[in-house]
Amino acid sequence: MMNSPICSMLDIEFPLLAFSHCRDVVAAVSKAGGMGVFGAVNLSPERLREELDWIDAHADGKPYGVDLIVPNKFAGKGEKLDTGRLIDSIPQEHKDFASGILAEHDIATDELDRTRGISGNFARNLRAEGAASSLEVAFEYPIKLIANALGVPPQVMLDLGKQHGVPVAALVGAKEHAVAQVNAGVDILVVAGGEAGGHCGDVSTMVLIPEVARALKEVGADTPILAAGGITTGEQMAAAIAMGAAGAWCGSVWLTTAEAETNPVVKEKMLAASSRDTVRSRSRTGKPSRQLRSPWTDAWEGEDAPEPLPMPLQSMVSEPALRQIDKLSQSGHQGAKDLATYWVGQGVGLMNQPLSSGQVVQQFKEEFAEAFERLSASLGD
C-alpha cells in the first residue's frame, strides 16, 4: 500500500481512481489495486441496483464507489420537467443546424426522437428527490466512496456519508470552489483541470493542483486532493503527487480499454488522436465540456453556428443527433463514422495502445516508479 491518505481512507493499495459508466471497468480497476467509481447519473434506481449487484459480485471484495451528479442550477429545477414544453422552446435555427450537419453527411433526420434528448432518468436524478433515491440504493451496498460531480453535494449526501462512514468526494475546477467544498464538509476533493474530458473549467491541472493545495493549507484543511484533468499515465500521477495531490482521478483513460463500452469507431479515433484533437465546447450540453474533435464539433465551432442553448436545451438538440450518429457509425455508415465523437480529455494524446483496465493500472504503477526514479536521479549527488 502506498503512503497516501487516499489509500488509508479508501483501503486501497494504489491511489488511482477510475471514473467509469462501465461496470466492468469499475470492477477491474478495484481488483487491480486502484478503485473503480461507477458513474450512475443516467440510471434509474432499479438499473443502478442491477449494476451494483454485478459490481459487488465481481470486485472480489475490493472497495468501489459511486458517482452521482446533482447540479445547483439548470433550467426547470425544482419543478417536474415538462419535456414537451422544453422541446417547444428549442429555436428552429438550432434544430435546423443540427439536421443540416447530419444531412451533409448523408444521415436522414426524420427519425430523430427529441423526447430522448435528455433521458427521464437523467432529468429525475437532477432533482433532489431523484438523487435521494439513487443515493439510498448506493448505500444499500458496501461502497467505500460516494462522489458528486457538480457543485457542493446536497446535505442528504453528506449526511448519508457520515452515517455510513463513507467518504464524500466532490469535483471542483477552481480554487474558490475547493475552499467552499471543504467548508461544506466534503472529505475528498477531486480537483479537475481544464484539459479534462467532459465538463471542465479552464485552469490547467498543472496550475490548479498546487493552487488548491496551497489554498487548503492556508485555511488549515487537510482534505486530500485527487488530481484530475489530462491524467492518463503514471508519470502524470507522480507529478500530481509531487505538487501536493494524494492520488489521481481518471476518466478518459478507461474509454479505450477492452472492457469499455465505448463505440468502437470512437475507440479507434481516440487511440489515433493527439492531444490537439479535442475541443472544449458548449455545443453538447450548453456548458463547456471537452470532446473529441470531429466534423460535428467543428461545425458548432464555425462562424455560422448558432450560440449553444442553456442546459438542458442544448442536449435536446445534440443528443438525439449524436445517438443516431453513434448507431449508424457502428453499422459502417461513412458519414456517421466521420461525425462520431465522445467526451475525452487532452490526455487522449497519450492513449495509444488498446489495453485492459488491469493493464492500465499496472502501467500506471510502472510509469509512476519510473517518474520517481527520474526525479530522484535529477537530484544528483
Residues lying near a second copy in the complex (CB under 8 A): 1-4, 174-176, 193-195, 201-208, 210-211, 214, 229-231, 233, 235-236, 238-244, 246, 274-276, 345-347, 349-350, 371-372, 374-381
* Nearest distance in Å: CB 378, a second copy: 5
The burial class, CB within 10 Å (0-12 / 13-18 / 19+), for 334 is: exposed
CB contact burial 206-231 (16+ within 10 A = b; e otherwise): bebbbbbbebbeeeebebbbbbbbbb
* Cα 233 to Cα 26: distance, rounded to the nearest angstrom: 18
Cβ proximity to a second copy: between 44 and 291 the closer is 291
Cβ proximity to a second copy: between 83 and 297 the closer is 297
Q: Considering only CA atoms, which of 234, 231, 230, 232 is closest in space to residue 367?
A: 234
Cβ proximity to a second copy: between 270 and 316 the closer is 270
Task: Show the DSSP H helices in the chain as ranges.
Answer: 5-10, 23-31, 45-58, 83-88, 92-104, 120-125, 128-138, 155-164, 175-184, 205-218, 234-242, 264-272, 295-301, 313-330, 334-339, 357-378
Contact by Cβ (8 Å): 311, 286: yes
* Nearest distance in Å: CB 225, a second copy: 12
* Nearest distance in Å: CB 130, a second copy: 32
* Nearest distance in Å: CB 5, a second copy: 10
* Nearest distance in Å: CB 203, a second copy: 4
**Which residue in the block uniquely carries the three cell numbers 489509500?**
7
* Nearest distance in Å: CB 372, a second copy: 6
Cβ proximity to a second copy: between 89 and 274 the closer is 274
* Cα 108 to Cα 325: distance, rounded to the nearest angstrom: 10
Give the 3-state secondary structure of residue 19: strand
Cβ proximity to a second copy: between 128 and 375 the closer is 375
What does DSSP assign to residue 192?
Answer: E
Cβ proximity to a second copy: between 56 and 211 the closer is 211
Cβ proximity to a second copy: between 94 and 337 the closer is 94
* Nearest distance in Å: CB 189, a second copy: 16
Contact by Cβ (8 Å): 227, 203: no
* Nearest distance in Å: CB 348, a second copy: 9
* Nearest distance in Å: CB 198, a second copy: 15
Residue 225 backbone class (left: φ over 0; alpha: ψ -120 to 50; beta: rest): beta
DSSP run (H or E) holding 289: strand 289-292
The single-letter code of the amino acid at 349 is G
* Cα 64 to Cα 364: distance, rounded to the nearest angstrom: 19
Cβ proximity to a second copy: between 34 and 345 the closer is 345
Contact by Cβ (8 Å): 39, 19: yes
* Nearest distance in Å: CB 249, a second copy: 14
Cβ proximity to a second copy: between 99 and 275 the closer is 275
Cβ proximity to a second copy: between 113 and 366 the closer is 366
The single-letter code of the amino acid at 51 is E
